[in-house]
Amino acid sequence: MMDILKRNNVRMFGDGDQVMLLAHGFGCDQHVWRHLIKAYQEKYTLVVFDFVGSGQSDLSAYDSSRYSSLEGYAADVLDIIEALNLRNVIFVGHSVSSMIGVRAAINKPEYFSKLIFVAPSPYYINEDDYVGGLNKDDLEALFVMMESNYLGWSSSMAPLIMGNADMPELGEELTVSFCANDPDIAREFARVTFFSDSRADLHKLNVPSFTLQCREDMLAPLHIGHYIQQHTANNTLVILNATGHCPHLSAARETIEAIDSYLDFDKVLTDAKLQSPGTIVTE
C-alpha cells in the first residue's frame, strides 16, 4: 500500500463519509484541484494524486510498456482505490482522465458511485462525421515539434489549451506545469492521450456519469459533449458558459456549482436548470 501511495503521491483531505477521487489531465498534477479541494473538503473525503511521470510522483515507477495505453493509468486508479480500501467513489476526471476513469469503472464498477467528466473527449481526431477537434496531420506535426523542442511546444500550446486570454496567469501556470514534466514521459503520455480511441468504451459504462462541457474548447468542441451523452447510458450533460479546456481553474465557481447540482440530482431534474449560468441537457 505504501508503495502505491508513494508512487502516485497520494494525499487526502477532509473526513466526509463519501469519497471523491480527483484525477488530473495531461501535463498537470494534483495542484489543479485546489479550488475543488477548498469547496468540498468539509463535506467529502478527497483523494488527490499524480499520475506516474507527473507532479511529485515516483518517476522511477514509470514503465513505457505499462503506460503505453490508458489501461495502465486506469490500473493506477484502481490500485489507489484498493490500497485505501475505498468504495462508493465519486470519480472526477479532467480531460483524458475522464476516459481513464471510464476504463477503471468498466473493470471495477462496484468501486464507483458516479463519474464526473471535466472537459472530456473519447477521441481527439476528426474522422468521417465525428468531430474530435484535431486533424491527424496537424497532430502529427505537433508531435514533431514536441520531439525537437518540448519546452517551446509547451510555451506555445499551454496558453492556447487554457484559453481565457484575459487571465494570462492561468496560461502561464499551465506552461510551468507542462515544462516541469519529464519531456520523454510527457511525449509518451501525450501520444497515449491524443491517439487513444475510447468511443467504444462509452457503451460499456454502466456507472452514472456527468459531462461538463465548455462552450468553447479547442481540444473538445461542443460536438463531443453531445456525442458522449448520446453514446453513454445514464449520462447527464451540462454546457458551461466557461471557455477553454480547464474550467476547474478558469471558472471554478461555475464548475463547482454544476457539480453540486448534479450530485443533488433530484433537484436538477426538478429545476431543469443550473443555479449558475449554463445549459443542462437531461434527455
CA 265 to chain centroid, in Å, comes to: 21
> Of the residues 177, 196, 217, 276, which is catalytic?
217
Catalytic residue among 54, 57, 95, 209: 95
Examine the residue annotation and report whether 35 is marked as an active-site residue of this protein: no
Q: How far apart are CA 76 and CA 258, in angstroms?
A: 28
Element (H, E) at 90: strand 89-94
Q: Which of 76, 245, 248, 276 is catalytic?
A: 245
Contacts of 215 (CB under 8 A, 6+ apart): 222, 239, 240, 241, 242, 243
203 is catalytic: no
Which segments of 149-246 does DSSP mark as H helices, in order?
Answer: 150-162, 168-180, 183-195, 199-202, 222-231
d(CA 163, CA 166): 9
Grid look-up 525537437 returns 148
Q: Do 204 and 83 contact (CB within 8 A), yes or no?
A: no
> Is 245 noted as a catalytic residue in this protein?
yes
198: phi then psi, degrees, rounded to nearest 5? -105, 15
Task: Give the catalytic positions in this structure.
Answer: 95, 217, 245
